[in-house]
Amino acid sequence: MSYSTFRYRIYAFLLDYFVIVIYGVFVVGTISFAFQSYFQYLFSASSAMAELTGFCMMTLPVSLYFILCECSKWQGTLGKRKMGVCVVDGSGQRIGIVRSVVRTSVKFLPWELAHFSIWQLMIPSSISDITIYITLSIVNMAILVYILIPLTNKKRKNVYDWVAGTEVIYCHK
């Protein structure tokens, strides 16, 4: 197997991020505008309600995009397909749904923890400020680890690849 370079993985993620931004603009620009009074309540009732609404509107659909694409016959998102890389298990085979869910959950855990913390800061809750700041510090450290770990091994595996038992390789399809 020929493992994807860190650069190709970053390019693939940036292409996927572009897809995420387009989706986000659609959600914020259309759905939120059309149902403004309903969403205004959801995002101001409580930090838990705001977090759940944000999760359902952004994190869940984005996660499903990664989960379903990476366990599909394409073995990768649009960004990965464009860059000619795919996600496989340790034997070079297509990953199943469970492995894809684990991979995506670990990948987006810092993102969701950041959202959780920000909502706690924006809408007062019973969680102390110091706990929120510690959580945000952990998020920043996790992002740094996610950036550095692929540079430390020849397979360019990231934390979520180690946890899920996956690899990103060049695919010749």
What confidence tens digit (pLDDT) does each residue in 12-32 have? 999 999 999 999 998 878 888
Angle value at C-alpha 85, between 64 and 146, nearest 5 degrees? 65
What percent of the chain is predicted at pLDDT more than 90? 86
148 pLDDT higher than 90: yes
* Average pLDDT over all residues of the chain: 94
User: pLDDT of 62-95, one tens digit each?
Assistant: 999 999 999 999 999 999 999 999 999 999 999 9
For residue 89, the cross-strand partners are 166
Tokens in use for 84? 């000619």
Q: Is 131 left (phi over 0), alpha (psi -120 to 50) or beta?
A: alpha
**Do residues 80 and 168 make contact, with C-beta atoms less than 8 angstroms apart?**
yes
